[in-house]
Amino acid sequence: YIRNLQIQQQWEKIPHLIRSFLFIIPVGIVIFYFNNNQIDIDLLFKNDEIPPWLLILGVVAQIIFTFRFIYQWLYAEHKKQSLLPLGFWLLSLTGAGLILTYAVFRKDPVLIVGHLFGIIIYSRNAYFIRINKT
């Protein structure tokens, strides 16, 4: 996100104190949680309530969904513009669809509702990009 603001030449317009907080706070949160044992890898990956195939599906889905930001960053660097290309929306759709599948098996209403609405938005954005290219 910060890099997109830099590419758009908007980052320097934000007061220095706010820029410092935007950079430091996420790092501080990660350090805090690791130092206070709030992140328990065993709890995440050794949960008897989740079958291994479903855990793998969930992890792969989340990796694909998160990768859309890396894809967008690399695309923006290549184009020297902050854009959300079709590939971003296709990765969003793929990741959200897989997360939705995971959520249905887990009977998780929060994930189901959240990603169902997301899929509608991602589909809409991908559709508009496709029709504008023709």
Whether residue 108 sits in one domain with residue 79: yes
Whether residue 52 sits in one domain with residue 25: no
Whether residue 85 sits in one domain with residue 105: yes
Whether this prediction's pTM lies above 0.85 is answered by no
Provide the CA 97 distance to its chain's centre, in angstroms.
13
Region of residue 82 (left: phi > 0; alpha: psi -120 to 50; beta: else)? beta
Give the mean model confidence (pLDDT) for residues 40-52: 77
Split into its structural domains, the chain has a count of 2
pLDDT 10s digits, 55-68: 999 999 999 999 99
Give the mean model confidence (pLDDT) for residues 2-11: 73
Whether residue 6 sits in one domain with residue 24: yes
**In this predicted structure, what is the pLDDT of residue 11?**
75
Whether residue 60 sits in one domain with residue 5: no
Residue 83: phi and psi, rounded to 5, are: -130, 160
Distance (Å, rounded) from C-alpha 117 to C-alpha 103? Answer: 13
Per the structure, the complete domain to which residue 20 belongs is given by 1-39
Whether residue 26 sits in one domain with residue 60: no
